[in-house]
Structure 1
Amino acid sequence: MFFEKFFEEFEIGESRESQGRTITETDIVIHAGQTGDFYPHHMDAEWCKTQPQGQRIAHGTLTFAIAAGLGAGAINSKAMTYGYEKLRFPKPVFIGDTVRVTFTITDKQPHPRKPGFGLVTEHTVMTNQRGETVMVCDHVHFVECKTGPDA
């Protein structure tokens, strides 16, 4: 599904919430294979029993990728990802956790070097089924202005 939302149409404080997504063992195994990250924290159930968390944890990069995917429902043809800032994982994500993401517009500024475009920051918070924050970052979008790049 495509839609058009220009820079001027984003409002500070507007927010949206994703659907839930349950993390599976398959998610972790596939991600390890794709990235080459086979650290025991993710792969060795017996070793993890001897560690403070007591069980395997999802990769931070897997958690981040799922958050990005949960936010990518409808495609805004006037915006694209510019980058991510302040990425943190305050609590681990475990197999069986169900996560969801809240996205809130916290800032918007004209692009300093590209007339006709702006930067919109979306504060991104992933929580688990217990309401604990498991990932947080700022997603910066590069968004076309209504006047367009040639104005």
Structure 2
Amino acid sequence: MTQPAILEQIANTTLYWEDLVPGMTYSTSSRTITEADVAAFAALTGDFNKVHVDAEYAKGTIFGQRIAHGMLVAAFMAGLTSRSIPNQFFEGSLFSVLENRLKFPKPTFIGDTIRVEIEVVEQKTTSRPDRGIVAFLRKAINQRGEVVAEMAATCLFKRRTPGDAQ
């Protein structure tokens, strides 16, 4: 097979429900959370909580410094995950995100760099034979190796039908 043919085959690959087996893991690239990110998120959402935007106030908190908004971290997790190579192969099969549950076991500080580790934790059939449910656990990990956010995501995927490519 020629190189262009291989690239075309890869580009046309779709991962279906059957391909997403429990225990499968992958990671994303990383992203640093900047002062500009926090300021823009505060302006966009109207969340000007002092722990995010007031350095003097934040010094007196249990964190000792400003922290990023939890939902900003969750949004970056979603962005990093959607740009990951495995997720590119979901475009023809992911119907919907059904649920996201979030936990923030540690703070994320301005200047932290996070990446996301994703694990398929469960695969369930539905009453409809053309679709199934996949549960993922996504962990945002900072440059110190600390888990700063966890997102349990439940998604509805297309199941492979006889006409779909393997």
- Measured in 2, the distance between the counterparts of 1:30 and 1:117 equals 38
1:83: how far off?
A: 3.0
Q: Does the aligned pair in 2 maintain the 1:99–1:129 contact within 8 Å?
A: yes
Matched pairs, number:
147
Cα deviation, 1:6-44, whole Å, max 9, x if unaligned, reads 111112111110111111001101111111100101011
Unaligned ranges ≥5, structure 2:
1-10
After TM superposition, the structure 1 = structure 2 runs for residues 1-150 of structure 1, keeping only pairs within 5 Å, are 3-73=13-83, 74=88, 76=90, 77-112=92-127, 114-147=128-161
TM-score, normalisation: structure 1: 0.90
Unaligned ranges ≥5, structure 1:
none
Q: Which amino acid aligns with 2:26?
A: R
Structure 1 vs Structure 2: percent identity of aligned residues?
35
TM-score, normalisation: structure 2: 0.83
Q: Does the aligned pair in 2 maintain the 1:104–1:123 contact within 8 Å?
A: yes
Q: Which amino acid aligns with 2:81?
A: G
Q: Which amino acid aligns with 1:90?
A: P
Q: Does the aligned pair in 1 maintain the 2:15–2:89 contact within 8 Å?
A: no
SS in 1 for 2:98: strand
Structure exhibiting the larger radius of gyration computed from Cα positions: 2
Q: Does the aligned pair in 2 maintain the 1:104–1:122 contact within 8 Å?
A: yes
Q: Does the aligned pair in 2 maintain the 1:87–1:138 contact within 8 Å?
A: yes
**Superposition RMSD in Å:** 1.6
Q: Which amino acid aligns with 1:70?
A: L
SS in 1 for 2:29: coil
